[in-house]
A and B are shown apart, each in its own frame.
Chain A
Amino acid sequence: MAKKILIVGGGLSGTIVANGLCRQLREELSSGSVTITMLGATDKHMYQPGLLYVPFGRMRESELFRDQRKVLDRRVPYIVDPAKNIDVDKKMVTTESGKTHTYDFLVIATGSRIRPDNIPGMTEGAHWFYDLDGARKMRDALTAFKGGKVVVNINVPHKCPVAPLEITFMLRDYLAGRGLLDKSEITYTYPIGRLHALEPVAHWAVPAFEHANIKSETFFNTKSVDAKAKTITSEEGKTLPYDLLITVPPHSGQKVITDSNLGAGGWVPTVKNTLLREGSDNVFIVGDTTNIPISKAGSTAHFEADTVIDNLSSLIKEDRWARDYDGKVFCFVETGFSTGTYVWFNYTTPPNPGPPSQMIHWFKLAYNRMYWLSARGLL
């Protein structure tokens, strides 16, 4: 009997796992002793970090997408029929269309989704760039903006931990470029008592905000938005007026996870070193779907996926564990339209961002193109 690997989710982490397994298990796939199948929600693969550039006219929508079947190794059947229920006891996944798929090994890579609907008034009153429709609307709102109070509002949990600072600095450069900076006031709100979760990044951001004349409100967890009065109010009791509200909305995991009783909020309890679902020895969790207390980011998904590839292929080929995930995360940080920096850390090494430079910004721009090599498992 062939060993069946089922990957649920066709985003970055699931795709890297599938492509990496195809390389590691070439002989097994060729002989038919292993099969790999992927279930996804759409036939398009989106480069999500590119959404950051769309509102500012710095990336075309068409640059964000590739045909998922072309990104994925051709030996992996890709089925556009998302999972509706995952039964880890019966080792079976039921899809939206009612089909069932059994497995020997399961990789859950269903990711996260924005939930502006979880905060009263946010959907009506705020703009965001975390999905294509939101990025389009934000682009229109920026085009129509003639100056005034801009609030950049950050909520938890969210993916891409540096996006809050990036959007703020890029917004500042955008307004400067349109000659609107003197007529505008940018206020950045953050849920905890500093400007960023990463303490060194927060320290770096303080003088950068002062230099850019960006105001801030810390300990600001959004309670509600009043779209008519154009105000936003925090759980801590602060109300800010706005003319333009840009938000990083709170996120949740996917409905299939909660519907399958696999984890509150759609986050699956995961062993942080093995990336196995707690209580399972044949269910790997990768990318945003885990409940591991680390950044939900593309690089996290990538490094986790590399670990899953090594362990899953080792278990199949040698019946042994290969290695643990060390918590590695790497993030570029755009500090405007012309400079950038980066930060990396793992479970034992704290982050230590360097000074921004043009070269790092250019490398980020290059990575915007090289992403597709990452998804194919070549980078």
Chain B
Amino acid sequence: MTREKIDARGAYCPGPLMELIAKLKLVQVGDEIEVLSTDKGSANDIPEWVKKVNHEMVGVTQQDGVWSIVVRKAK
């Protein structure tokens, strides 16, 4: 298992969720991806999408206006 990071702080387009969707195509089942985002909407959008497509949420934390959202590829 590896953990990749997407630093999407200040990324308006394509944005954190689009970056996550693209990155998930490049990693192996069981790998984790940590998305860093300054867009508070990401803390809702990403878990909502992860649930829809049956990947796994590992955790969401926030510090100094930066959200860390960790997702595990499940399929």
Determine if A198 is an interface residue (Cβ-Cβ < 8 Å): yes
Interface majority SS (helix, strand, loop, mixed), chain B: mixed
Of the listed stretches A94-102, A134-142, A347-355, A357-365, chain B binds: A347-355
Contact A197 B13 (CB under 8 A): yes
B44 CB, min distance to chain A CBs, angstroms: 9
- By the criterion of a CB under 8 Å from any partner CB, how many residues of chain B are at the interface? 24
Which residues of A in the span 208-244 have a Cβ within 8 Å of any Cβ on B? 219, 221, 235-237
Residues of chain B within 8 A (CB-CB) of A295 are 13-14
Partner pick for B12 among A156, A157, A198, A272, CB 8 A cutoff: A198
Contact B14 A197 (CB under 8 A): yes
Residues of chain A within 8 A (CB-CB) of B45 are 192-193
Q: A192-B49, A221-B53 are in contact. Are A198 and B13 (CB under 8 A)?
A: yes
B57 CB, min distance to chain A CBs, angstroms: 16
Determine if A327 is an interface residue (Cβ-Cβ < 8 Å): yes
Partner pick for A293 among B14, B52, B53, CB 8 A cutoff: B14
Determine if B11 is an interface residue (Cβ-Cβ < 8 Å): yes
Task: Name the residue on B nearest A296 (C-beta).
Answer: B14
Determine if A301 is an interface residue (Cβ-Cβ < 8 Å): no
B56 CB, min distance to chain A CBs, angstroms: 15
Interface string of B46-75 (1 = CB under 8 A from A): 001100110000000000000000000000
Residues of chain B within 8 A (CB-CB) of A221 are 21, 53
Determine if A92 is an interface residue (Cβ-Cβ < 8 Å): no
Partner pick for B13 among A236, A250, A345, CB 8 A cutoff: A345
Determine if B43 is an interface residue (Cβ-Cβ < 8 Å): no
Which residues of A in the span 171-205 have a Cβ within 8 Å of any Cβ on B? 191-193, 197-199
Residues of chain B within 8 A (CB-CB) of A327 are 10
Partner pick for A157 among B11, B22, B48, B53, CB 8 A cutoff: B22
Contact A157 B49 (CB under 8 A): no
Q: A192-B49, A193-B45 are in contact. Are A350 and B21 (CB under 8 A)?
A: no
Determine if A265 is an interface residue (Cβ-Cβ < 8 Å): yes
Residues of chain A within 8 A (CB-CB) of B21 are 156, 191-192, 221
Determine if A286 is an interface residue (Cβ-Cβ < 8 Å): no
Q: Please measure, in the bound complex, the distance between the C-alpha atom of A300 and the C-alpha atom of B28, giving whole angstroms.
A: 30
Contact B49 A219 (CB under 8 A): yes
Q: A221-B53, A236-B53, A293-B6 are in contact. Are A157 and B26 (CB under 8 A)?
A: no
Residues of chain A within 8 A (CB-CB) of B15 are 192, 197-198, 293
Q: A157-B18, A157-B22, A293-B8 are in contact. Are A193 and B13 (CB under 8 A)?
A: no
Q: Please measure, in the bound complex, the distance between the C-alpha atom of A345 and the C-alpha atom of B39, giving whole angstroms.
A: 15
Q: Please measure, in the bound complex, the distance between the C-alpha atom of A237 and the C-alpha atom of B53, giving whole angstroms.
A: 8
Q: Please measure, in the bound complex, the distance between the C-alpha atom of A319 and the C-alpha atom of B26, giving whole angstroms.
A: 38
A145 CB, min distance to chain B CBs, angstroms: 30
Contact A347 B10 (CB under 8 A): yes
Q: A156-B22, A236-B52 are in contact. Are A192 and B13 (CB under 8 A)?
A: no
Residues of chain B within 8 A (CB-CB) of A348 are 10
Task: Name the residue on A nearest B55 (C-beta).
Answer: A235
- 10 pairs from A and B in contact (CB 8 Å cutoff): A161-B14, A192-B21, A197-B14, A198-B12, A199-B41, A293-B11, A293-B14, A293-B16, A294-B11, A350-B12
New A-B pairs, 7, CB < 8 Å, besides A156-B14, A265-B25? A156-B22, A157-B18, A192-B15, A199-B12, A221-B53, A236-B53, A294-B11
Closest CB pairs A-B (n = 4)? A293-B11, A157-B22, A197-B14, A264-B26
